[in-house]
Amino acid sequence: MKKKFKIYVDCAACAQKMEDAAKKVAGVKEAKITFMTQKMTVEADDDMFDDVLDNVIKACKKVEPDCEFYI
């Protein structure tokens, strides 16, 4: 399953660090954060997508605590 989400992140460097952290989460097949459009795409297996997404958000919040996710 692949889903897109609206996010808020204040700089391109932070977005890149968040993307790198998201890609390291177990179960993530692909993760992409686009600073210009303020969107995040996450791809993971259907049966564990919700758990993977929770872990992606936690990983991103460790890098950039001020980021916001609109899910």
Neighbouring-strand partners of residue 37: none
> Mean per-residue pLDDT for 18-34?
97
> Mean per-residue pLDDT for 57-66?
96
Rounded to 5°, the CA angle 71-22-35 comes to: 65
Percent of the chain's residues with pLDDT above 70:
100
Average pLDDT, the chain: 96
What's the number of domains the chain is made of?
1
The Cα 69–Cα 71 span in angstroms is 6
Q: List the domain range (segments joined by +) for residue 22.
A: 1-68
> Mean per-residue pLDDT for 40-63?
96
Indicate the SS3 state at residue 1. Answer: coil
Pairing type for strands 28-34 and 39-44 reads antiparallel
- CATH of residue 7: 3.30.70.100
* Residues 4, 41 contacting (CB under 8 angstroms): yes
Mind listing the pLDDT tens digit for each residue in 7-17?
Answer: 999 999 999 99
